[in-house]
Structure 1
Amino acid sequence: MSVEEHKRNYEQVNCMVVTVSDTRTAETDKSGNLMVTLLEDAGHRVKTKEIIPDESSSIRNMVSAGCENDEIDVILMNGGTGIAHRDVTIETVEPMFDKEMPGFGEIFRMLSYTEDIGSAAILSRAVGGTIGNTAILATPGSSGAVRLAMNKLVIPEISHIVGELKKES
């Protein structure tokens, strides 16, 4: 079966959108709101949207809660991915993964370099992985980064990812 045929077998997925930020509010969360809009425009369901502080315990608790919720297929995170001391999303989420999807971060940085920010892409951190049957995708918090990741990687593959996770062994 070709990749395109494979993708056609999967449809709508249920998502949790999480913004990791010490400063964003519901009114100022442009990136989280953008994720919601792009997901819904693509026919997916956003079951919950949260804003949490850039603290390991908050991130770990939110990801765990999302993975334990049978209604959530994918957790999409934005923010807390930089290299500043306060940015701990990547360090918190990566050790939780059962399986990593290194291509997500690799291709995101390549696209960031070629289509968006040039050499500053070396500072960009994005990761993807799975915990049980839930996919977790974490991107930088800028609207440009979110738009790039969602349009070029997440929306085209999200149904395929979930379909693979739901397959019986």
Structure 2
Amino acid sequence: MLFGHDTEMSLGAAVALVNTAEAPDTLTTVEELDEWYAEWSYTGRRDGDGAELAAVRALRPVLRGLFVADRDDAAILVNTMLAEAGAVPRLERHGSFDWHVHAVPMEASLVTRVTVETAMAMIDVIRSDEMSRLGVCADDTCDGIVLDLSRNRSRRFCSTACGNRNAVAAYRARSRLS
């Protein structure tokens, strides 16, 4: 594990959230937000309404900007996010999760919690000088974000679909040369 469990979970959740904006948009209903929330083991307040969905959808380009920023700009963005949310880090343990960091109360809005948890995770990325773990998908037809937590830094595609599409294209190109 490159980072702590909570850091990796927060990064994975945020990257998955950002990538829902790729065509076709897969975060258009409260039910789809419910699925994302459950998949990434979020806890705390849920309004479960259109306003919450709209707020989370509006967060996607903000997080995308953070993930593609250079290290110095990312640090500025993280500091701004944490300050605007009034974040105060503290250790918590709940459910099946051992001690980990939360920086806003569980009663804070979902968009605030996602923003702060992502910013807190990015602190580890920035401090470790690991911004290269985040990038844009190598598929020419995709702008999805890639989170590479592999040991050898080999992940280039945001999804299996993009990787498979490129592998098939490479195979066909080699076959034509034979």
Normalised by the length of structure 2, the TM-score is 0.28
Q: TM-score, normalised by structure 1?
A: 0.29
Which protein is bigger by CA-based radius of gyration? 2
